[in-house]
Structure 1
């Protein structure tokens, strides 16, 4: 009789037991990923593990009888499938965090340019005529790049030295000079100047060399044992079409002053045309946006000097990458203070506007439609960031989670250590009190001035308002010193 009973058990247990094992394996895998992410407080993690073990024991006991074993199998499969899906989400999150916190070394690209209709197609084609080179801007780096190009192509090039960028460009446009060598980061800057828009469409590259540039900001940030009471994060929005590792203009310059005790976040926006100085300029003034050409650490240094602060971390974003995220979210709702239009994109009405990725990018970058110009653009940029955060907090995040994570990973790069991000998430789970977010944009007076990056050419700049900067300093200090209330 016993042999017959055991045989009957095996007839269903060979199906029910593997399904139970499936649940156990899925639970173990999810827990391992969750532990690796370090986003769940240890107490919560212990409770979760305990509940999973208890469920496993109950499902195991239910294997004794056929009817309960069948029910246990159904539950095991459903729970295992849920844990498997959850683990896929967690794995995707872990990959995203690894990518955005694994900051790449910055790259500087130098190219030899000719006019668009020039017959020259390669470096060998320009060896018989002079290459214009600037002596007063990025000279040593440009010379080294030229030498490396010559060694790779096994050619020797003659050079014509200029101490004025615009004299060199004028001779190129007139055909007196047939080629120039220039850092790629300067080309879009020059192309925006009146009389030099041809630089955006009438020149082309015949040779390019990219070099990795050491940056103090790229050094791995020290991981504190506990979450700091306050820290400052520099948010840099690089030139629209620049890659994350490419040195490029910083069109968005926002400082996020975070107080984790009082749960206050103060967003301070500094106009891109702010007339400042940094170590590279040797005391000469330049636009804040141009600091990005010399590396993210230079942009940070300029802001540290302006506000007399220490910036702890940076987050470098590519607004173009926002297109993928916003489209994956199904669009976002942004508030516009004005009626305005962006050519070939759309018209925006005063009030709420539902926008897709491309429309959100145009909304964030437009400034010529507004009397306040760059000040209004700064407000719109922070409005786009607010709308994205709000949409991510909704169910839209789960509906297209994988695409959104891929978009984030390709759009952001930060020096905040992954472990620190995990600590902040843990803190948020333990304390769900809403954050108090305030913002401020420093002001100034528009004028024309000469800059280090465009020597000899007067351009539009914003002379900082000392009162406005002083007020920003005070606001930063107040947030940093605020205690838990």
Structure 2
């Protein structure tokens, strides 16, 4: 089976949900290890309710999200792939949004390009969207994403990119379809199907300046990797491998998804997530005060907002 993984991969947000919850489904006698890991990675943030300007959009936070999940309501997740440094929380180098709708048996997935210029909510500035994490951590980043999309986000998953390489090695490496040959970080990446270990995959995922499409090209590869990881994660069965994955997740991931919610994802949602639709946010480059930004028009933001709104609609019951 083809697997892809790259820096965005650990943008694997939803993939993480399936991995963490999926391990429980495969081996409930590992319940203690699963719960310990879930407790270790659980990190709630200050509750906020984003109120969209669109009167047709309502925030799940007005109700208990767990209750909504049990009723198979759709939900949204923002995945933050973060490069952390000593004495520095780093920046969210990867931002991936997922809108999960079990009734439609589908996931809508898209990147928000890291250089996107937007208001940084809670900081009073206009800057690159990935700087929100540096200024105010998960909460400011989530609030900024909500404002940019004019849509509430239910969950976040923050993933340390260095732990990502370890996970790839545990999985036995990955295979990606590289559209063109390039060199990066002393690695040679040939065109076509190539096998990568964790270190190679991390370097492969970090390259963007030699990509003809820049960050957009990197984002497209990230989404492909994420889809493959989400699919392959459903097939974990080796208990030793599961234990290694749990240990790595505990060291690399933080989320506001509770253990009970993970179990619900596994038992009620797992078979409904086979259809993954990806879209791309487009924009134009502009240099402002000697800093390069991606400018996303209001029309484009409205387009993505409408896609989110359509994806999140509940399916009307059969008459």
1:466 aligns with 2:293: no
Q: TM-score, normalised by structure 2?
A: 0.78
In 2: Cα distance, 1:337 partner to 1:396 partner: 32
Q: Helix, strand or coil: the match of 2:247?
A: helix
Alignment gaps of 5+ in structure 2: 1-21, 50-60
Check the 8 A contact 2:166/2:198 in 1, yes or no. yes
Q: Pairwise mapping of residues 185-224 of structure 1 onto structure 2 (< 5 A)? A: 216=46, 222-224=64-66
Q: Secondary structure of the equivalent of 1:422?
A: helix
* 2:295 counterpart SS class: strand
Question: Residue 428 and residue 482 in structure 1: after superposition, are their counterparts in 2 closer, same or farther (change >3 A)?
Answer: closer
* Change over 3 Å in CA distance of 1:276–1:268 after alignment to 2: same
> For the Cα contact (< 8 Å) 2:74–2:100, is it kept in 1?
yes
* Kept after mapping to 2: 8 A contact 1:334/1:387: no
Q: What TM-score, normalized to structure 1?
A: 0.53
Bigger Cα Rg: 1
Q: 2:276 aligns with which of 412, 415, 437?
A: 437
TM-superposed deviation, 1:311: 0.9
Aligned to 1:237: 81
Matched, 1:254 2:96: yes
* Alpha-carbon shift at residue 482 of structure 1 (Å): 4.7
Q: Secondary structure at the match of 2:235?
A: coil
CA change 1:337–1:482 in 2 (3 A) is farther
Task: State the Cα deviation string for residues 426-480 of structure 1 (Å, max 9, x = none).
Answer: 1046xx3552111112111111124xxxxxxx21111113332222111101101
Q: Structure 2 CA distance, aligned partners of 1:260 and 1:393?
A: 16
How many residues are treated as equivalent by the alignment?
279
Deviation sequence 1:290-323 (CA, Å, 0-9, x none): 1111221111121111111111111111121111
Within a 5 Å distance, the mapping from 1:373-452 to structure 2 comes to: 373-394=214-235, 397-398=238-239, 400-428=241-269, 432-450=271-289
Moved more, 375-384 or 268-277: 375-384
The offset of 1:95, in angstroms, is 2.1
Counterpart of 2:40 (choices 91, 96, 99) is 99
Q: Aligned partners of 2:151 and 2:95: how far apart in 1?
A: 15
Structure 2 residue aligned with 1:190: none
Where relative contact order (Cα < 8 A, 6+ residues apart) is larger, the structure is 2
Matched residues in 1 for 2:237 and 2:184: separation? 27
Deviation at 1:415, TM superposition (A): 0.5
